[in-house]
Amino acid sequence: MEIWYIFVAVPIIGAILHFFIIKKELTKNRVLEVLLLWFLGFGIGVGSIFSGLAQIVSPEIVAQSVGWPNSPFLREVGFANISYGILGILSIKYRSFWAPTIIAYAVFMWGAAISHIHNIQQTGNLASGNAGTVLYLDILMPIIFILLLFTYNKTKVVIGN
């Protein structure tokens, strides 16, 4: 079951709807802020908590989607997912959580991407949870979040002067 797109599409749709409902002035800084709020709160927050709970409650299904054997370690990975999911949810209220949440998420996702690439090279495992879109998102989403945060902070400084 591939539902990764929910955690990419919903934040974008949510941000767009946010502008129609709130009807505040659209500035570059405001657009970046709302995108970050939605990606951190829903994409990382809800998405990581959901993923973590799946790994804890149904590790055999997750292992099958990745093409790996089920292991007790998968539950531990689930708790790691939940930890930065909670950071993502807290980022909605606390802007000081933005950078730590993105750093934690990036380290985990890029580590996962390295593991997936290594597994593909060693075993040829092209299962949907190990290769393809999931692998690309593991690499690209942290880059997008880092660029959004960097641009937001740069724009905020320029606007503040």
Q: Which long-range contacts (CB under 8 A, 24 or more apart) does 135-139 make?
A: 137/4, 137/8, 137/109, 138/109, 138/110, 138/112, 138/113, 139/109, 139/110, 139/113
As a whole number of Å, the CA-based R_g of the chain is 17
- Report pLDDT digits (tens) over 54-107: 999 999 999 999 999 999 999 999 999 999 999 999 999 999 999 999 999 999
Q: What is the pLDDT of residue 8?
A: 85
Q: Is the pLDDT of residue 2 over 80?
A: no
Q: Which pLDDT band holds residue 19 (cuts at 50, 70, 90)?
A: confident
Average pLDDT of span 25-42: 93
DSSP 67-103: TS---THHHHHHHHHHHHHHHHHHTTT-GGGHHHHHH
The rounded percent of the chain whose pLDDT value lies above 70 is: 94
Average pLDDT of span 24-29: 85
Q: What is the pLDDT of residue 1?
A: 45
Average pLDDT of span 133-146: 95
Domain regions of the chain by residue span: 6-160
Residue 104: strand, helix, or coil:
helix
Per-residue 3-state assignment (H helix, E strand, C coil) for 36-69: HHHHHHHHHHHHHHHHHHHHHHCHHHHHHHHCCC
Q: What is the pLDDT of residue 161?
A: 47
CB 62 within 8 A of CB 54: yes
CB 81 within 8 A of CB 49: yes
Does an H or E element contain 134, and which?
helix 133-160
pLDDT averaged over the chain? Answer: 91
Average pLDDT of span 26-49: 94
Give the Cα separation of 58 and 56 in Å (integer). 6
Give the Cα separation of 148 and 142 in Å (integer). 10
Q: What is the pLDDT of residue 157?
A: 65
